[in-house]
Structure 1
Amino acid sequence: MLIEHNNLEEYRDPINYDLEFGGEIDKYNFYLELAKLNPGEVLELACGTGLATIPLSKLGINITGVDISSAMLEYARVKAQGLPVTFIEGDARTFESDKRFSMIYLTGNAFQAFLSDEDQIALLKTVYKHLEPGGVFAFETRNPLGTDLSNQEETTWGQFLDMDGTTVKVSGTQTYDARNHTMHWVTFRDWGYKKTTSRIACRFTDNDTLKSLLTSHGFNIENQYSDWDKTEFSPKSSSIISVCRKC
């Protein structure tokens, strides 16, 4: 069954996106520590509203953020006024810059937004091209062996307070396309006086395939973790956090 989706639907309300998904301090600290260990300029691909970009910039990291969503970047620039951070609208598959970076990363499971072999390869080519020799590439992705990939009718996922202090109830459905290793989520947000719907598709890549993909495109995998506290990755971990170095 073909399920239509638009991955940008989830990013059309940047202020409330931050309120729902912001505040992951452990994650920001992980990438901050990695940047400090690899001094130089840093690039975040798929940076969104700068949830991870801005905390690094505030602590002295020279950083550039790239994202395909103009709405998310517009809000990122508002939040970053006065900070030494640059935001660029662009597609991570085709991004071009004269700069070379000591570290490039993606977070928020953004790696899963690249839905085909061709997309993943184009992303990795962008990263490889823009890394300095020996530069670091880091990202996280959900582990298919540690994730419930069953089809599910609408269930409650949680809630958050929006910009006006209103409690927004979040629920959704999931449908897994096993042939293409792609989960299709439909998210419903209920304000009480209105209800919104957004759709997003995410590709799941098993760790053996991921390792082969990275090594065949010029990266040496230095570490893999299951959590931001650097717990060693295990086959049933819910996340795969990979730290690689350009060969």
Structure 2
Amino acid sequence: MLNHNNQEEYRDPINYDLEFGGETDKYDFFLQLAKKHPGHVLELACGTGLTTLYLAERGIRITGVDIVEPMLAYARIKAKELPVDFIEADARIFESNQRYSMIYLTGNAFQAFLSDEDQTALLRTIYKHLEPDGIFAFEMRNPDGTDLSDEEEESWGTFTDMDGATVKVSGTQTYDASKQLMHWVTFRDWGHRQTTSRIVCRFTDVQTLKQLLDKQGFILEHQYANWDQTSFQPSSPMVISVCKKV
């Protein structure tokens, strides 16, 4: 799943939060889903706990799991006295005696599982740790709604870092259709310095995803195009899936 290159995006957790935080519509989606399925919730690939802590602050009993220790270390600092556990583990082989009413991934984390074997191992872990009729939810980019063509460096936007500086973000993308793998290279320009990081994500088409979920014992209950629960269409850029353990 997370090879060396795939961890490069997660070396600077404070600025990661500043660049990618604040997605309250997404956090609210998982909060409302958790409230509908009361119990203990598990977030896999939780990173710095952006979503985990949002739910914990609102009374959800929750545990976060991630493989990248610096991200978890920052999550624990932010958690302060909140009753939330953060565990360093690989989601493919995570083991716990706890069973959860809901398990979810977000940030397109499902796409970090780069092979059939990785995806199967992830889903088996989730199935094993869900309570009967437990809910599994996650989102991913829809390949039929995404431009997968190779692109030279282009601007992707800006963010304000921990020191108040404006950071310019740009990048390239190269798609390996034979393996369904997108290779992104991201450049962040502070003016006085520049960083480069690489990440690889797998694009799974919706029909293949449905077959995979069915094979691993999940019923696909809903698919949405965005966090306000608009119905998914074949050309939607994103697909949010909510599944139940059979």
Aligned position for 2:161? 162
Contact map agreement 1:35 1:42 (CA 8 A) in 2: yes
Contact map agreement 1:5 1:199 (CA 8 A) in 2: no
Instruction: Spell out the pairing of 1:1-247 with structure 2 (5 A cutoff).
Output: 6-247=5-246
Q: Distance in 2 between matches of 1:227 and 1:114?
A: 22
Tell me the secondary structure at the aligned position of residue 192 of structure 2: coil
- Aligned-pair CA distance for 1:5: 6.5
Contact map agreement 1:227 1:241 (CA 8 A) in 2: yes
Q: Distance in 2 between matches of 1:94 and 1:192?
A: 41
Cα distance change of structure 1 residues 82 and 5 upon mapping to structure 2, 3 Å threshold = closer
Q: Number of residues paired by the alignment?
A: 244
Q: Distance in 1 between matches of 2:208 and 2:48?
A: 30
Tell me the secondary structure at the aligned position of residue 136 of structure 2: strand
* Amino acid across the alignment from 1:82: E
Tell me the secondary structure at the aligned position of residue 129 of structure 1: helix
- Aligned-pair CA distance for 1:60: 0.2
Task: Report runs of 4+ in structure 1 exceeding 2 Å deviation.
Answer: none
Contact map agreement 1:41 1:101 (CA 8 A) in 2: yes
Tell me the secondary structure at the aligned position of residue 118 of structure 1: helix
Q: Distance in 2 between matches of 1:102 and 1:96?
A: 16
* Amino acid across the alignment from 1:151: D
Q: Distance in 1 between matches of 2:124 and 2:44?
A: 13
- Aligned-pair CA distance for 1:219: 0.2
Contact map agreement 1:5 1:201 (CA 8 A) in 2: no
* Amino acid across the alignment from 2:104: Y
Tell me the secondary structure at the aligned position of residue 53 of structure 1: helix
Q: Distance in 2 between matches of 1:171 and 1:134?
A: 43
| Structure 2: 5+ residue stretches without partners | none
Aligned-residue CA RMSD (Å)? 0.8
Q: Under a length normalisation based on structure 2, what TM-score does the superposition of the two structures give?
A: 0.98
Q: Distance in 2 between matches of 1:90 and 1:190?
A: 32
| Structure 1: 5+ residue stretches without partners | none
Tell me the secondary structure at the aligned position of residue 18 of structure 1: helix
- Aligned-pair CA distance for 1:208: 0.1
1:184-232 Cα offsets, whole Å, 9 max, x none, are 0000000000000000000000000000000110000000000000000
Tell me the secondary structure at the aligned position of residue 7 of structure 1: helix
* Amino acid across the alignment from 1:220: I
Tell me the secondary structure at the aligned position of residue 38 of structure 2: coil
Cα distance change of structure 1 residues 238 and 198 upon mapping to structure 2, 3 Å threshold = same
* Amino acid across the alignment from 1:87: F
Q: Distance in 2 between matches of 1:123 and 1:6?
A: 20
